[in-house]
Amino acid sequence: MMVNNDFSVSYIVCTNTYMSIVTRTDTIIKIKHYIFRAFLPKTVKISVDNIVNQVYNTYMDREKLNEMLTTKYAQYADILEKSLKFINVYNEYERKPKSFGTDELYYSLEIHTIHAIGKNAEMNVTEIADWHGISKSATSKVLNKLEKKGAVHRYKAPNNKKEVLFGLTEKGKKAFYGHIEDHIKFKKEIFQKFDSISDEKLKNFEEVLLSLIEFGQNQE
């Protein structure tokens, strides 16, 4: 199908978390292959081919195309933007150091190291590194900081003098239980928000989250 060179068409440009409508003169409809398809729930995914067909079926009707963009895709973009904002807010919450009922401040990696040791009673450096998914050298640095704060102590394994294990001190145990209480309080406040939302909306929200998780896991 030939397109009039003088006909100004709108096509989709996707950037990080929003879509904008760009107007230009061209002989080819240029539609980016990454148009938010990966971010859509399975039940509402629309293929690029279908979008091209929709554009052709409107006979390059700019008004209809713009209407399509400003309804469906603007809504999807808004949902994605809010999801990313929630992630940023949660990450900021996790980044802030907290005392967890002690006289020390613990950063996220530190308190989660305490949590790992407290949950498993005793662990070596390799086990803690695997728990976090980080290197042993990075884990050793965290453990050294926790030792200086008096939260953990190291000792030789009874059946293997070459193996060094880490356990929690009384101070570390206090931080461990304080961390659990903090999470219970946080989840309780979130669950109270969910109480006012219908089961159907929660189910739809879950489907969106699962689609985003699936997309993230498929990225290399």
Where, residue-wise, is CATH 1.10.10.10 in the chain? 108-189
User: CA 97 → CA 91, 168, 216, distances in Å?
Assistant: 12, 19, 27
For residue 106, give the DSSP letter: B
Say which CATH topology domain 108-189 has.
Arc Repressor Mutant, subunit A (1.10.10)
pLDDT digits (tens, 9 = 90+) for 20-35: 333 333 333 333 333 4
pLDDT digits (tens, 9 = 90+) for 50-87: 555 555 555 455 666 666 666 777 777 787 788 788 88
3-state secondary structure 17-63: CCEEEEEEECCCCCCCCCCCHHHCCHHHCCCHHHHHHHHHHCCCCHH
Q: Is 8 helix (H, G, I), strand (E, B) or coil?
A: strand
For the entire predicted model, the pTM comes to 0.56
